[in-house]
């Protein structure tokens, strides 16, 4: 799966993924969602 995403990113695409596991992508950034109060 990471290889498919790498190719898409290399071609100028973006990836938005929700997961509890590492994606295996160099330079990936994480957005942590917290409980709204």
Locate 12 and state its tokens: 């100028």
pTM over 0.75? The answer is no
Q: What's the confidence (pLDDT) of residue 9? A: 92
Token pair for 5: 């995403």
Residue 1: pLDDT band with limits 50, 70, 90: confident
**pLDDT for 6:** 92
pLDDT in tens, 8-31: 999 999 999 888 888 888 888 888
Residue-level pLDDT at 27? 85
């Amino acid at each position: 799966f990471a290889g498919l995403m790498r190719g898409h990113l290399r071609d100028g695409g973006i990836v938005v993924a929700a997961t509890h596991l590492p994606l295996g992508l160099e330079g990936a950034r994480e957005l942590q969602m917290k409980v709204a109060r």
